[in-house]
Structure 1
Amino acid sequence: MNELVRKESIEEICGHRARTLELYQRAWDTMQEGYKAHAAATMVGGMRRAPHIAVDSNDRGYRQGEFMENVTRNVDRDIWQGLVMGTPIGSLMDRQELEAFKKSLEQDPPPATADNVRATLERLFGEADQIFRRGLVNAFKRLDRDYASNDGFKIGDRIVLTWGCTWDRIMGYFTLHHTREEELHDIDRVMHVLDGKPAPDRGQGLEGKMAEHTYGRGRDKGTTGESEYFRFRLFKNGNIHLWPRRQDLLDRANKIIAEHFGMVLAAGRDARESTPSYQPRPGEVLKADFFPTPDAVVAQLVAAADIEDGMKVLEPSAGEGAIVAGLVKAGANVWAYEIDPERRKGLITRFFSQFGAGGCVCADFLEREPEPAFDRVVMNPPFSRQQDIRHVLHALRFLKPGGRLVAVMSGSAENPQGRLGDHFSATLARLGGTIERLPAGSFKESGTGVTTVMVVIDAPAAMQAAA
């Protein structure tokens, strides 16, 4: 907390608050005296005329208590905003975080006393890393997924902001869209903080450099330019393209994003080898992409699977058994894969002892040879780098003709990118599969806010060829 605001400064701010409220109270009392004098001056012929300046409740003005209540609320709100926006905490917050913070102050801001200020700043300082990480993810997850470079789980070599500007062909210059200016500020803020520098003021940094190419000033500047952390180009179709200039900062940002959504450590060698920020430690247990399926989601998956007693059902990424428990309760004969040996031991103890541990295999599911022996596949695979798509396409080959697959997938499955995404979309369309978006925050209790969907695919008669 000392790095945010010195104790002496807090005492000084709270002293100003007390002085402010005292002066406003004194002003109210003075206004009351003035009102009475004003009223006395209107006494003509024994009749009192109401002054046109209304400061009394009987004359459409405030009651004293109401007046001071409103004043105190406004003073406290302004102090809290100044404390946060004027400290490093403010530079860690993205637009969404700031809007939520301001909204929380609208109705009933807490008194800006020394004890409250110290306690609040200590809490915010303790959450600073979490606030920044959440803001970093928010800054990039809003990007338009119609562009393959705007990957939902990493910042690519190019960032596309759609409808970021307007080309005025008559005047011959660009103008920036206000909403995209907010996003430009967030993106630039992230790089500054990662580089150990304070976030730029609004209109400075990337925004400022881009502004030199817009409005009347931009006629002779051309459509390309650069700031400290980005090269940029403005396009007449309204898009803005950004190219990060610092690979080291890009890698750090991508590592944070990957940790937020879960590194794909349980998704096979291809994904691990293509993740440059991942450096495994000796004896490391592969747990980073493990987000247990909440009970409400399990219930929805099991209901969609339409399981009958005795059906042979596969869970390809069993984890600690949240889905397995739901399948067993539904009367399924469950078989599972789990890459982590410790979690497999727990699964065997809870669910598979009757099979002599043979019903739960410790293996990477993507490396298993397909065996079309299951009536159902119910799964929550890893998401990053389209590993959910890889798992689902592979799992389809384990279904019997007429079987059904039900999977939780990333929200990006609604509009997947690249050749793998095209293959998934074509397969889904050919087999008549469905995608249903799960409620926002479905995995909040598991530690991630990623958007999720439920995919249901029924196997045709020739399932092996279809996948």
Structure 2
Amino acid sequence: MNAHTQLVPRSSIEHLCKHRELALEKMRESAEALKAAYEIGKEANRLAAISYVGQAPTGRPSDDGAYGALFPSAAFDLDKSLEAYRQQIDRRIWDHLLNQMGIRKMMDAEGLKELQNSINSDVPEATADNVRATLQTLHGDTDMIFRRGLVNCFAKLDRRFKSHDGFKIGSRIIINGAFSDLSGHTTWGSTWDTIADVERVLAVLDNEDPEGSNALRAAVDRDRRGHYGPQQSQTETAYFRIDGFKNGNAHLWFTRDDLVKKANMILAEHYGEVLADAYDEGDPDGDLFNKSTELSKDLQFYPTPPEVVHEMIYGCSFKRIDLKGRKVLEPSAGQGAIALHAAEKGAHVTAIEVNPDHCAVMKSRAGRMTAEGTLRIAQANFLKVTPQAKYEFVLMNPPFYGTHYMDHVRHAFEFLAPGGMLIAILPASAQVNESRKHTAFRKWAWDHNDLGWAGPFRDLPAESFKVSGTMIQTVTLHLRKPS
């Protein structure tokens, strides 16, 4: 996607930043002079108070106001004033450079809002070194920025786009509330913003300039012009055909199969073909309760980042979890990111891992641990370990291949003592895929839900496993065993 962005020439950056520095220097001179003038003005008022028998002059002259500035009424903060001036200059420089670079064209509405908020709230200094480094990073991340925008905008269209088997875009999308029930005109709000994002994505995939998206809405408004009230309509543009109905809903049809195919490939790459929740070959709707004890066919290892460990355990603000002195199990522990954290918090942890190399790394890390907790490492295929219902917590990031994680979670649940809690990291598809096996798993999870009316799943932040080498979207599952 770099064809739609360009690096700003070095000479242009140097030119902008050089004059920025000169402006800041001149403004500092001005501010220092102004501060000195205010101090002199204060002294003048002090003297005036003496000559006015204790009362300094107040207000402004009633004539043409020529002397109004000579009545300083508030303190002047030099540093705050200069910082406000610096932020105003730098905010405009960043806006200009991002527009010139074309990076905004790669972003969805949500991404643009976040970018603008970051620029407005905490403006980074637009020094030459900072600008060059930032723009080079953004240029290198253009594909990722575009991919994130694509995922965001399609995820808003249908909840199943978060799943593996569900994120293949079909030929039609049903859009609720596209038109006003009263006037029949297009509605304002996120619906058409999302459609504009989809248009932008398709334009980029078509190697066209994505500037001026929302052509579909403009075309629909033209076709419905002159009519008031609920109505049917049909409009076609370069990428869509949209059928509008009297109930205010619409059916959006993609007319470019080649672009839909490109989008699907990017979605699959983003979520991770290997890790994501594909059905086991030969048994797409396999029996939930016919558990396999075989190892996952895919043994790729993606360690749990520290931030994810913290989020999975402590992310629910209404759940106060104290692991000190508790019995904790991490099944299929990998190199023990979760187990080591729990032990460092004072828990008595058992980690079960089949890979001897991972066990060796875990033992090495445990040897450097100085916490009150303990860590026992068992090398074994967790699915073949006989359950002992003695653990107060099971904390796990099971293998994702196929629906293998379901077997792990079901088996791990048997290790909980009555009243014990299980928290698992799962692919987002666990929450939304609609096969018989997924539906049965979710029903079982709801029966043991520990998070109340909202259900047992919580989204982890987007790209939580980026540092581990995968972009798969993930959730946490929170279960509790009956007392």
TM-score w.r.t. length of structure 1: 0.63
2:239 to 215, 218, 229: 229
Change (3 A) 1:384 1:149: farther
Determine the structure 2 residue equivalent to 1:280: none
CA contact (8 A) 1:88 1:198 kept: no
1:59 & 1:272 partners in 2: Cα distance? 83
CA contact (8 A) 1:165 1:238 kept: yes
2:423 & 2:93 partners in 1: Cα distance? 49
Shift of 1:455: 1.6
Map Cα deviations across residues 379-429 of structure 1 (whole Å, 9 max, x no partner). Answer: 223568876556535655x65896967132459589635234432332234
1:121 to 127, 131, 135: 135
Shift of 1:91: 0.9
1:138 to 152, 171, 176: 152
1:324 & 1:98 partners in 2: Cα distance? 38
Secondary structure at the aligned position of 1:56 is classed as: helix
Map Cα deviations across residues 113-162 of structure 1 (whole Å, 9 max, x no partner). Answer: 666544442232133233223323322334453xx567487243167575
Shift of 1:456: 1.2
1:408 to 397, 403, 424: 424
Q: Work out which structure has the larger RCO, using CA pairs closer than 8 Å and 6 or more positions apart in sequence.
A: 2
1:270 & 1:176 partners in 2: Cα distance? 43
Determine the structure 2 residue equivalent to 1:180: 191
Shift of 1:308: 6.6
Residue correspondence of structure 1 range 151-170 to structure 2 within 5 A: 151=163, 154-157=167-170, 160=173, 163-169=176-182
CA contact (8 A) 2:180 2:186 kept: yes
1:5 to 8, 21, 25: 8
Determine the structure 1 residue equivalent to 2:440: 423
Residue correspondence of structure 1 range 312-327 to structure 2 within 5 A: 315=331, 317-325=332-340
1:196 to 184, 203, 207: 207
Change (3 A) 1:200 1:96: same
Shift of 1:246: 4.4
Determine the structure 2 residue equivalent to 1:41: none
Map Cα deviations across residues 23-64 of structure 1 (whole Å, 9 max, x no partner). Answer: 999xxxxxxxxxxxxxxxxxxxxx974425897363789989
1:414 & 1:308 partners in 2: Cα distance? 28
CA contact (8 A) 2:173 2:252 kept: yes
CA contact (8 A) 1:149 1:159 kept: no
1:327 & 1:19 partners in 2: Cα distance? 54
Change (3 A) 1:440 1:359: closer
2:100 & 2:412 partners in 1: Cα distance? 52
Unpaired stretches in structure 1, ≥5 consecutive residues: 26-46, 275-283, 352-356, 461-467
2:463 & 2:63 partners in 1: Cα distance? 63
Secondary structure at the aligned position of 2:443 is classed as: helix
CA contact (8 A) 2:178 2:186 kept: yes
1:109 & 1:308 partners in 2: Cα distance? 45
Determine the structure 2 residue equivalent to 1:31: none
Letter in 1 for 2:144: Q
Map Cα deviations across residues 275-331 of structure 1 (whole Å, 9 max, x no partner). Answer: xxxxxxxxx98537654564435766996999976x9x571x433222344677744
2:17 & 2:424 partners in 1: Cα distance? 51
Change (3 A) 1:100 1:388: same
Residue correspondence of structure 1 range 299-310 to structure 2 within 5 A: none
2:257 & 2:408 partners in 1: Cα distance? 30
Determine the structure 2 residue equivalent to 1:270: 280
1:334 & 1:61 partners in 2: Cα distance? 65
2:424 & 2:206 partners in 1: Cα distance? 36
Shift of 1:359: 3.1
CA contact (8 A) 1:305 1:378 kept: no
CA contact (8 A) 1:432 1:457 kept: yes
1:64 & 1:114 partners in 2: Cα distance? 28
Letter in 1 for 2:148: R
Unpaired stretches in structure 2, ≥5 consecutive residues: 29-59, 285-296, 367-376
Determine the structure 1 residue equivalent to 2:114: 100
- RMSD in angstroms over aligned alpha carbons? 5.5
Residue correspondence of structure 1 range 245-284 to structure 2 within 5 A: 245-265=255-275, 270=280
2:260 & 2:154 partners in 1: Cα distance? 12
2:246 & 2:402 partners in 1: Cα distance? 32
1:164 & 1:438 partners in 2: Cα distance? 27
- Report how many residues are paired: 410
Residue correspondence of structure 1 range 347-358 to structure 2 within 5 A: none
2:64 to 38, 51, 55: 51
- Percent identity among equivalent residues? 27
1:333 & 1:72 partners in 2: Cα distance? 55
Letter in 1 for 2:112: L
Change (3 A) 1:48 1:291: closer
2:83 & 2:173 partners in 1: Cα distance? 48
2:301 & 2:221 partners in 1: Cα distance? 41
Change (3 A) 1:60 1:106: farther
Change (3 A) 1:268 1:386: closer
TM-score w.r.t. length of structure 2: 0.62
Residue correspondence of structure 1 range 21-100 to structure 2 within 5 A: 49-52=62-65, 56=69, 58=71, 73-100=87-114
CA contact (8 A) 1:164 1:239 kept: yes
Secondary structure at the aligned position of 1:198 is classed as: coil
Secondary structure at the aligned position of 1:452 is classed as: strand
Residue correspondence of structure 1 range 390-401 to structure 2 within 5 A: 391-393=408-410
